[in-house]
Chain A
Amino acid sequence: MSTYEQTLKDITNIPKKIKIAFVVAEFNKEYTSQLELLNIGYLNKQGFKNVESYYVPGAFEIPGATKRLLATEEFDLIITLGAVIRGETPHFDYVCNETSRGIMNLTLEYETPIIFGVLTCNTEEQVKERIKPNYAISGLNLLSEMYKIFSM
């Protein structure tokens, strides 16, 4: 059981007008849409209103779509959301492997902070326990720390 909660740090160095994109996988939509609502709601509450969502069919399409968004250079923060649940076949392993690899490559290639919000779980229960606004909090914390390097 994961009881981990992220806590928001001092993020006063982030302007409220920044543009934030969500890339949401619609596979297991009942969970990903909850994740999306919760995380967007959190950002709105913190005063970040410039938020857009983009939908892809499954987690495997997240890296490709994220790369296109990065190429526009319009976004200050990208949060990826997905829920992959193990089925009966090894398919799961390959999808998770490559999705993680794709996103890690993008984080190294681009300066824009990207949050890895793809849940890869054995059971639906494990997913349900993890429907939290943690990704929005992580994103803001990360962006705030990134600004420290860029301002040096």
Chain B
Amino acid sequence: MSRKSKGKYESITDIPRDIKIGLVISDYHKQYTSQIEEFNVNYLKEQGFKDIEVFHLPGSFEIPSFVSELVDTEDYDLIIPIGVIIKLNLPHYDYICAEIFRGLMDISIDDETPIIPGIIVCENEKQVKKLLNENYAEYGLNFLKEILRTFD
């Protein structure tokens, strides 16, 4: 992205604090997703974002359709999905994961609202435990900043 920059939106601190952020959390493996949720919500609050709405879904497969409905409301400036998938040794998860990422990609191409793929896919719980402090909020804000800088 190298369109003209007006000097605004050089960093996350330049993003208006009144934007509305939606978090869509999968409750599958809730012991982990709730920790990631807490970490990310705290980060957003520390950064001064107050308008945060959190939704809980049964699993990650439902994330794309729910995100798509949220996008359609046109109320949100940034949507952060969060899910944990532990693949075990079951082909089921190959198909689920492939379709979740495809679904999110389809939405991110069709719609303008920034969406990030905050879904952790692991082989086992040990790998998940290392990733509980993934800062998807910061990742999303950086993406939003770049979009604002380029197109606003």
Contact = CB atoms under 8 A, between A and B. Distances in A.
Interface of A: 2, 4, 6, 9, 86, 92-93, 96-97, 99-101, 103-104, 107-108, 111, 113-116, 119-122, 126, 137-139, 141-142, 145-146, 148-149, 152
A152 B98 contact: no
A114 B62 CA distance: 8
Contacts of A86: 91
Interface in B86-118: 88-92, 94-96, 98-100, 102-103, 106-107
B64 A108 contact: yes
B61 A116 contact: yes
Centre residue among A4, A107, A119 by max chain B CB count within 10 A: A107
Interface in B44-84: 55-59, 61-62, 64-66, 68-70, 73, 75
B103 A138 contact: no
A144 to B, nearest CB: 9
A74 to B, nearest CB: 19
Contact of A149 (B73, B90, B98): B73
B28 interface: yes
Given A107-B64, A145-B66, A149-B73, A122 B89 contact: yes
Contacts of B88: 2
A80 to B, nearest CB: 11
Contact of B99 (A6, A101, A126, A152): A101
Given A2-B88, A108-B103, A152 B73 contact: yes
A97 to B, nearest CB: 6
Contacts of B68: 108
A99 B91 CA distance: 13
27 contacts: A2-B88, A6-B27, A93-B91, A99-B95, A100-B95, A100-B98, A100-B99, A101-B99, A104-B100, A107-B62, A107-B64, A107-B103, A108-B64, A108-B68, A108-B107, A120-B92, A122-B91, A137-B58, A138-B58, A141-B58, A145-B55, A145-B56, A145-B66, A146-B69, A149-B66, A149-B70, A152-B75
B56 A116 contact: no
A86 B103 CA distance: 25
